[in-house]
Amino acid sequence: MLLLLSLRNAVLGRAALPGAVLLAVLLTGVPLQVQGQATLGGEPGSELTVYHVFMGQGDLVYEKFEHNAIWIHDPVRGTDLVYNYGLFDFNEPGYWGRFLKGNWIYQLGAFDIHSTLRFYRQDNRSVYAQELNLTPAQRVEMQEFLQWNLSGENRFYLYDYYRDNCSTRVRDVLDGVLGGRIRAATADRMTNTTYRWHSERMIADDKVSYTGLLVGLGPAADRPITVWEEMFLPGKLHEYLRTLQVPDEAGRMVPLVREERVLFQTDRPAPRSEPPGWLGAYLMVGLALGALFAALSLWVPRARAARLAFGAVASLWMLVIGIGGVLLLGLWTLTNHGIAYRNENLLQFNPLALALVLLLPALAYGVRWAARPAYWLTIAVAGLSLLGLLLKVFPAFDQANGALIALILPAHLGLAWAVYRLSGAAVQQTPVQPAPGPSAPRRRGAPAR
């Protein structure tokens, strides 16, 4: 899930930029030489050069989705500013509370191109620039808008993974100066992709985060998206701009991208062109877990090590399942993470499993009172998991969570069989009390023993 993946990277990684740098506008460095630069005495805006800057993947989870920005070279002001909508700070007061509720704030910042390139070189991320074929008036309009957007409270915005992020902000700025031409050409053009499809392919090389993504995304991530929506990914916006034709000052249609430049190139492989087909791998892991639970249950009555192993592994499995269920339920009912609402994975990650964290080790050690509740709770957890598969015959249950069902259902069924066997053995070990018989007659006056 995206929320958990971001939390993971907050612990293991670093923020997008240090907090002390977040609000700085770095005006240092000598402007790069720009090919085709207009003379300073021409029409207002003719001296400006505007680029769409695309940054490739990095190591952290949020860096897997790439990045982009707008770079404006202004020789009159002596600036080379990169306008970046992807800034956030883990140390900002109240950040984590807003983050957990899905109300966290991103902001726009402006940085010198040289500082920007140093930052991405250090992270070993490729940087490409597309010079945009805008009219002088459009360049001025863009610069003025970005300066306004950078000032005061204007720089803050409520972030959304897919609908309002660093790339959609850049897309919207470009669309604004082009008179809505991008939206008009793409808002009704459907793709054969979804938010989930793109997310899985972008993050597939990080298998832990990939699995977390499978867990956290709800059915909203499986809706087919348009070309306009697909540009939530910087790489897709980068590709689309190459195809766009716009009118120049004389009204002639010309390519929007005048020239492309490589500012820094790494040897990182390109993102996958499609999600990995790992359903079989998840199924094998699920079958192995189910077989492990079943095999350990056969040895529990004979070996202390088997009792310890079964109790530990089964308890850990139920802890993961139960905590996952609580988190999914909380994301749906207590937060604004709309992409996680109505998540069918609640049938796989069941909060009821938390009760089994203590019951299963007790059952493994033959505690008789644990047999009945452990049996029925395990049946409930496995039954709801199976229900999640059977409901797929109905169109309303079309969430693309087959890989998770393949992982979890076999493990739940194997555990249910093991608990059925162990609970039966525990009941059989219950001592049978002899029926009361007639008391032997006592001699008169003899004390009762």
Whether residues 175 and 283 share a domain: the answer is no
Q: What is the pLDDT of residue 99?
A: 85
Q: Residue 448 falls within a domain, yes or no? A: no
Q: Are residues 284 and 250 in the same domain?
A: no
pLDDT mean across residues, the chain:
89
Structure confidence at residue 25 as a pLDDT band (50, 70, 90): very low
Q: What percent of the chain has pLDDT over 90?
A: 79
Residues 6+ apart with CB under 8 A from 265: 126
Q: Which of these, 259, 244, 269, lies nearest to 51 by C-alpha position?
A: 259
Mind listing the pLDDT tens digit for each residue in 234-282? 999 999 999 999 999 888 999 999 999 999 999 999 999 999 999 999 9
- The residue-averaged pLDDT of 295-299 equals 94
Band of pLDDT at residue 8, cut at 50, 70 and 90? very low
Q: Which of 415, 357, 12 is nearest to 208 (CA)?
A: 12
**Could you tell me if residue 200 is inside a domain?**
yes
Per-residue pLDDT tens over the stretch 311-325: 999 999 999 999 999
Q: What is the distance between the alpha carbons of residues 193 and 223, in angstroms, rounded to a whole number?
A: 8
pLDDT digits (tens, 9 = 90+) for 63-85: 999 999 999 999 999 999 999 99
6 and 121 share one domain: yes
Residues 356-408 have pLDDT tens digits of 999 999 999 989 999 999 999 999 999 999 999 999 999 999 999 999 999 99
Cα–Cα distances in angstroms (integers) from residue 86 to residues 16, 169, 183, 294, 317, in the given order: 8, 9, 22, 49, 37
Residue 312 inside a domain? The answer is yes
Regarding whether 41 and 83 lie in a shared domain, the answer is yes
* Alpha carbon distance 219, 396 (integer Å): 10
Q: Which residue has the higher pLDDT, 93 or 349?
A: 349
pLDDT recorded at residue 427: 56
Q: Looking at residue 428, what is its pLDDT?
A: 60
The pLDDT assigned to 429 comes to: 58
Look at residue 324 in the predicted model and tell me its pLDDT. Answer: 98
Domain-located, residue 271:
no
Residue 183 is assigned to a structural domain of this protein? yes
Q: Are residues 322 and 404 in the same domain?
A: yes
* 447 in any annotated domain: no
78 and 226 both lie in a single domain: yes
The CA-atom distances, in angstroms, between 6 and each of 69, 96, 206, 357 are 21, 11, 13, 27
Same domain, 284 and 230: no
Sequence letter at residue 31: P
Tell me what pLDDT residue 424 has: 76
Cβ proximity of 216 and 328 under 8 Å: yes
Question: 399 and 315 in one domain?
Answer: yes
Is 287 domain-assigned?
yes
Query: Which pLDDT score is estimated for 387?
Result: 98
Choosing from 237, 264, 291, the residue where a domain stops is: 264
Is there a single domain that holds both residue 300 and residue 252? no
- What is the pTM assigned to this prediction? 0.85
The pLDDT of residue 329: 98
Domain co-membership, 223 together with 357: no
In a domain, 272, yes or no: no
- Together in a domain, 214 and 247: yes
Q: For the chain, give the secondary structure using H, E and C.
A: CHHHHHHHHHHHCCCCCCHHHHCCCCCCCCCCCCCCCCCCCCCCCCCCEEEEEEECCCCCCHHHHCEEEEEEEECCCCEEEEEEEEECCCCCCCHHHHHHHCCCEEEEEEEEHHHHHHHHHHCCCCEEEEEECCCHHHHHHHHHHHHHHHCHHHHEEECECCCECHHHHHHHHHHHHCCCHHHHHHCCCEEEEEHHHHHHHHHCCCHHHHHHHHHHCCHHHHCEEEHHHHCCCHHHHHHHHHHCEEECCCCCEEECEEEEEEEECCCCCCCCCCCCCCHHHHHHHHHHHHHHHHHHHHHCCCCHHHHHHHHHHHHHHHHHHHHHHHHHHHHHHHCCCHHHCCCHHHHCCCCCHHHHHHHHHHHHCCCHHHHHHHHHHHHHHHHHHHHHHHHHHCCCCCCCCHHHHHHHHHHHHHHHHHHHHHHHHHHHCCCCCCCCCCCCCCCCCCCCC
pLDDT at 97: 87
Planar angle of CA 432, 436, 439, nearest 5 degrees: 150
Span 190-216, average pLDDT: 97
Which of 236, 264, 292 terminates a domain? The answer is 264
Do 239 and 101 share a structural domain?
yes
* Domain boundary pick from 216, 239, 264: 264
- Residue 83 CA to residue 148 CA, distance in Å, equals 12
Mean pLDDT, rounded, for 205-230: 97
Domain that holds residue 354: 279-428
- Largest Cα–Cα distance of the chain, in whole Å? 133
Q: How many domains does the chain have?
A: 2
